[in-house]
Amino acid sequence: MINIDETIGILIIQEVGGSIVLHIVLAADGTIHRMGQNKAEHHANGTFIGRTDPKLFNELKSSLHPDMLSVFQHQIENWDIEGQPFNTKVICKTKDRKTGVESTYGGQYTGPSDVVTAFVTKAVQLTDPWYAEQHQVAETEKAAMKPWWKVMCNLNG
């Protein structure tokens, strides 16, 4: 089992039907990667990578607790998968090792344990404001690349 205090990075990946719907990386130095909305009907397209306040990482890291760590090093599969297969991975990295949990389940199954689900939800909530801001910046830059007459047409109606 890892020492929570030594955790320097957290990776979360969720897939539906083999397509990534959520990808989050948070690191102790403030590095952040985010792709997707964590919704089965919205497949991720485009990753935003940047730096943010390390407090985000520390807040997420504080959600790691023994109940969650006890399921690490396990791969949980529901062999009676009905519908699209879902897969959730949570990996924590220390200076010298990685550990995590992976759950594979069908759309009719409840999914990973409650502590893993709560952890993923917390990661999404913590990174949502940054992710929304990056989308806004990308849209602004996209609009800036349009010819001026197309921008003016959009402004006028």
Give residue-wise pLDDT tens across range 113-150: 788 888 999 999 999 999 999 988 877 766 666 565 55
What is the model's pLDDT at position 64?
87
SS3 29: coil
Q: Is residue 64 a contact partner of residue 1, using CB atoms and an 8 Å limit?
A: no
Strand 98-106 to strand 74-77: parallel, antiparallel, or no bridges (unpaired)? parallel
Give residue-wise pLDDT tens across range 34-44: 998 766 655 55
Distance CA 46, CA 70 (A): 33
Percentages helix, strand, coil for the chain (3-state, rounded to 5) are 35, 30, 35
By C-alpha distance, which of 56, 64, 57 is closest to 3? Answer: 64
Residue 119: is it exposed, middle or buried by C-beta count within 10 angstroms (0-12/13-18/19+)?
A: buried
The mean per-residue pLDDT over the stretch 97-106 comes to 84
* Count of other CB atoms within 10 angstroms of residue 68: 19
State yes or no: pLDDT of 27 exceeds 60: yes
Distance CA 83, CA 85 (A): 6
The mean per-residue pLDDT over the stretch 89-107 comes to 86
Structure tokens at 103: 């759950």
* Residues whose CB falls within 8 Å of the CB of residue 150, separated by 6 or more in sequence, listed in order: none
Q: pLDDT higher for 46 or 22?
A: 22
Strand 31-36 to strand 74-77: parallel, antiparallel, or no bridges (unpaired)? unpaired
